[in-house]
Structure 1
Amino acid sequence: MRSEMTQGADPAAAEELAGRLWSWSSRWHPGELAWLWRATGPGAAGWRTATWRAGGRTVAWARSTAPGRLDLQADTGHDGLVSAVLDWFEDGAAGHDLAVTVLDRESSLLEVLLSRGYSPDDDAPSFLHLRRRLAAASPPAPLPPGYVLRAVAGVQDGDARAGLHRAAFATPEPTAATYQAVMAHPSYRAALDRFVVAPDGTPAAAALGWLDERSGVLALEPVGTHPRFRRRGLARACVLAVLGAAVELGATHARVCARDGAADPAPRATYEAVGFRPYARNVRLVRPAR
């Protein structure tokens, strides 16, 4: 079936595609896309994006956040679709070195990329995918004296959650308004948005979960701790609280993507301490400018 490309993103359609294609060999979970498209705020306006449709539904999307950098998802059951996405990307990045990030289990994507002259970038940052089964609610983790863990109570907490994320990841987004847009997403659930408040009232750590009811898989995105409050077990407490709430909502598995490497071992250690185990990793493939 022939696909047709349109310039621009359709976030809801991209999330539907991610849910439809979900497997443990998929890079994208629909909840991660929900966060990606909404938490970026005005920055997303600078992305170069496109959507491909066939038979009345979306079959691929792509985004280039900078010239020569590509993220994508495509239904590889459509002949020539991945090549069409790469043609669009390469045409718009002429004269630039190219880099495409995929999951190492996405064998069809990898095959096409290798055939077009891309090769693995061994110096790229390493991001690991981890998963665990959710057979029962996890017991709560103890907190230091004076710290309080709770669920987001409503839009009034949007400013606190946004500020915590900016501090944890040293980024300008999300703002309070951007976080409220995240909270307005149809699949957002306050019960899966937990944060810890320090004794002085500062939001100290948080974890947000997204449950895909079709697969029963919960994605953690994001999890972070304010630099002032690290190494106190606060992120672990937030993660366990989200997992427990997810079980009550019908989740059967959970997954998370975390930076991996000797320079920053804390994220992987945090997740493995609560039962997550690695199963895949992101791979960046590069091709010099032509």
Structure 2
Amino acid sequence: MTDSELLTHADIVLMQGLAQRVTAVRQDLLNADASYGELAWNWGRNHAALGAHWRRRLWFHEGELTAWAWAHLPRTYRLSDGTEKHLAGAYLAYQAHPAHAGLVDEVIEWFDDVAAGLERTVLPGAGDAFALERWAAHGYVTDPSALGDAGSWMQCNVRELTDLTDLGDPTLPAGFRFRTADEAGPEAAVRAHVDAWSPSPYTVEGYEGVRRTPGYRSDLHLLVESPDGTMACSTIMWLDEANKTAEFEPVGTHPAHRRRGLARTMLVHGMHLARAAGAVQMTVCCLGAPGHPAARGLYYGVGFRPISRDAPMIKYATTG
């Protein structure tokens, strides 16, 4: 194992490799924090602004990464509307290969040490019975606020790409057109995301970080341009060549262009592009709580089915 240090680009490469190995043997453990694409997206868009608040620890067996822990410590960051957001607690993203599940106890102990005195949250997989038992044994309990109608827990979804005829032809309305990120340019690519997720901390600097992450392909970064030049929706597809899977992350639509079928058409076109690039399966994660039905409906409507979900847990600061 290695000591606690700041998370680096080289670490992300190793962590993506572990994500690929976990996907190959236990796809039901797919986690929105620890997928091949999500690791690249989270690192790329945020490391310049938040990297000083990230700590990590890596565990190895015979030279191969078998587990990692990525702690997000208290931080303040600026949003696109000019406001600042402060997060006072600590959050942990982590992954352990199922053949080395016993390392979860070491992960928990490390997190409790690096975040001592803080409120601590984590999102183990609901299907990972061993991990849930170990987190509970260390004093973590189900997080009631995260499980409400507006909870922030995620579910992951999957569909096969072998036959896409059920989706029809991905034809956009007159005047709209598909663009790649290179065609649209950095400013438009960032604005597309910020418009969809406002207020957002995403910046051109963050976008350049995303472009430098392992697995990013500008030809799989897709946007829909409206007749007036506004980017109506956008997505990035992350191709995991080892498993022949591709992941949509993120997916967003401009508020003025929602409920017009544009995002659906973009996803269908994206799946055709992913299949042409070698993928045989597509994944996407979305909010799973009852109060967030829109994204689930969108993905179910193009043939995705749920495969895994988070089980939010918390350890209150007063518990030590």
TM-score (norm 1): 0.90
- Residue 7 (structure 1) aligned to one of 5, 23, 39: 5
Alpha carbons 2:90, 2:118 under 8 Å: kept: yes
Alpha carbons 1:159, 1:179 under 8 Å: kept: no
* 1:78 matches 2:107: no
* 1:141 matches 2:147: no
Q: 1:262 to 1:144 in 2, by over 3 A?
A: farther
- RMSD of Structure 2 on Structure 1 (CA): 2.0
Q: 1:133 to 1:166 in 2, by over 3 A?
A: same
* 1:272 matches 2:300: yes
Q: 1:130 to 1:53 in 2, by over 3 A?
A: same
- In structure 2, how many angstroms separate the alpha carbons of the residues matched to 1:120 and 1:254? 30
Q: How many residues align?
A: 287
Q: Match of 2:179?
A: 150
Q: Match of 1:131?
A: 158
Q: CA deviation at 1:102?
A: 1.6
Q: CA deviation at 1:56?
A: 2.1
Q: 1:44 to 1:172 in 2, by over 3 A?
A: farther
Normalized per residue, the structure richer in helix is 2
Q: CA deviation at 1:150?
A: 2.4
Deviation by residue 1:93-113 (Cα, 9 ceiling, x = unmatched): 222232211221223322211
TM-score (norm 2): 0.83
* 1:240 matches 2:268: yes
Structure 2's unaligned 5+ residue stretches are 74-88
SS at match of 1:283: coil
Q: Match of 1:231?
A: 259
Q: 1:82 to 1:260 in 2, by over 3 A?
A: closer
Matches within 5 A, 1:120-269: 120-124=142-146, 125=151, 126-137=153-164, 139-153=168-182, 157-269=185-297
Deviation by residue 1:186-235 (Cα, 9 ceiling, x = unmatched): 42222321111111101110111111111111111000011222111121
- In structure 1, how many angstroms separate the alpha carbons of the residues matched to 2:302 and 2:215? 25
Alpha carbons 2:16, 2:39 under 8 Å: kept: yes
- In structure 1, how many angstroms separate the alpha carbons of the residues matched to 2:259 and 2:279? 28
Q: CA deviation at 1:4?
A: 3.7
Deviation by residue 1:29-77 (Cα, 9 ceiling, x = unmatched): 2111111110114223322322233322322222222343211112343
SS at match of 1:117: coil
- Residue 60 (structure 1) aligned to one of 31, 49, 67: 67
Q: CA deviation at 1:266?
A: 0.9
Which deviates the most, 253-262 or 60-69? 60-69
Alpha carbons 1:104, 1:282 under 8 Å: kept: yes
Deviation by residue 1:217-268 (Cα, 9 ceiling, x = unmatched): 1111000011222111121121111110111122111111111334331101
Amino acid aligned to 1:24 = Q
- In structure 1, how many angstroms separate the alpha carbons of the residues matched to 2:106 and 2:302? 41
Q: 1:4 to 1:80 in 2, by over 3 A?
A: farther
Structure 1's unaligned 5+ residue stretches are none
Q: Match of 2:43?
A: 37
* 1:50 matches 2:57: yes
- In structure 1, how many angstroms separate the alpha carbons of the residues matched to 2:121 and 2:266? 34
Alpha carbons 1:76, 1:108 under 8 Å: kept: no
Q: 1:236 to 1:79 in 2, by over 3 A?
A: closer
Alpha carbons 2:288, 2:309 under 8 Å: kept: no
- In structure 2, how many angstroms separate the alpha carbons of the residues matched to 1:158 and 1:107? 43
* 1:92 matches 2:114: yes
Amino acid aligned to 2:41 = W
